[in-house]
Amino acid sequence: MAEPLIHPSSVVEDGAQIGAGVQIGPFCHVGSKVVLGEGVQLVAHVSISGETTIGAGTKVYPYAALGGPPQDLKHKDGPSRLIIGSNCTIREGVSMNSGTDYGRQETRVGDNCFFLAYSHVGHDCIVGNNVTMTNGALLAGHCEIGDHVIIGGGSAVHQSTRIGHRAFVGGMTGVTGDLIPYGMVTGNRARLRGFNIVGLKRAGMTRSDLQTLREAYRRIFESGGSIVANAEASRADFSDNIPATEIIDFLTSAGKRPLIVPAGGSAGDETE
């Protein structure tokens, strides 16, 4: 690939590793511990600091701030880093912080993610592949976000929350608990509204498998008693349905946040 192109108004500190074909537009600042993979593009006015690695083909738009120290008073400037995967799109004003020295010591973002304007990834988060965070969506520290998750505009996710893969968070939703894989939530404080049917179709879910998955949902969330106990009791009956097994594994694994449940125990699916 071609040699890097660096605008003369930008500052690239000694020690930064700049891959082949990188393009750094005007008024950017790249710190001494930054690694930019092949073909990374910094459009203009981008700040990348700390021990930050950005994978090949990622494009970063103006006023993004990546790799800054965690917004956490317990962090004492010990080792921490930010790792961003390949082929991501990071739009205007996006911020991502490095990990804390008392936590994971790193924030990690997967490949092919799409971060719309002014979204935020807090310290020690783990974000999967093919995740979309819409304008103004916010992740507090220590969140774990699965693959193919979509988080709607203006939504906020509480610290240490888990969101399972292919889940969907509606716009302006406050997510204060763990969201099952394939689940859909909306509301001022998130309530489970059934499954993300669009996401399931994209994953190749058949009608028969979807009917089985709905039956598992009813047994787990509508049978009364403990949701975790219901999930464990249902395991054997749904062992042939991979999504149902993934949901059961999610529900029975330990998390720091409470589980998000349906409002009033209702389980109507959102189809579009």
**Tens digit of each residue's pLDDT (9 = 90 or more) over 135-168:** 999 999 999 999 999 999 999 999 999 999 999 9
- Identify the band that residue 263 occupies on the pLDDT scale cut at 50, 70 and 90: confident
178 is catalytic: no
Mean pLDDT of 98-123: 98
Among residues 124, 59, 116, the alpha carbon closest in space to that of 85 is found at 59
pLDDT-derived band at 256, boundaries 50, 70, 90: very high
Q: Domains plus CATH for the chain?
A: 5-199 (2.160.10.10), 206-252 (no CATH)
3-state SS, residue 240:
coil
Give the pLDDT of residue 179.
98
Beta 191-195 vs 183-186: how paired, if at all?
antiparallel
* Tens-digit pLDDT profile for residues 121-132: 999 999 999 999
Catalytic annotation on 165?
A: no
CA gap 118, 239 in Å, rounded: 41
Rounded CA-CA distance 134/115 in Å is 6
**Cβ-based neighbour number of residue 137 at 10 Å:** 25
Which of 122, 141, 164, 199 is an active site residue? 141
**Contact assessment for residue 80 and residue 97, using Cβ atoms and an 8 Å cutoff:** no
* pLDDT score recorded for residue 254: 82
Question: CB 186: neighbour CB atoms within 10 A?
Answer: 18
Which position among 45, 123, 142, 158 bears the catalytic label?
Answer: 123
Provide the pLDDT for residue 120: 98
- Average pLDDT score over the chain: 95
Q: Which residues lie closer than 8 Å to 235 by C-beta, 6 or more apart?
A: 245, 248
**HSE, side-chain direction, 13 A CA sphere, residue 134:** 14
Contacts 24+ apart (CB under 8 A), 132-138: 134/171, 137/169
- Give 183-221 pLDDT, tens digit per residue: 999 999 999 999 999 999 999 999 999 999 999 999 999
Active site residue 85: no
Q: Which of 45, 93, 120, 124 is catalytic?
A: 124
- The pLDDT tens digits for 8-52 are 999 999 999 999 999 999 999 999 999 999 999 999 999 999 999
Beta bridge partners of 95: 65, 120
CA 14, 18, 24: angle at the middle one, nearest 5?
95
pLDDT-derived band at 267, boundaries 50, 70, 90? very low
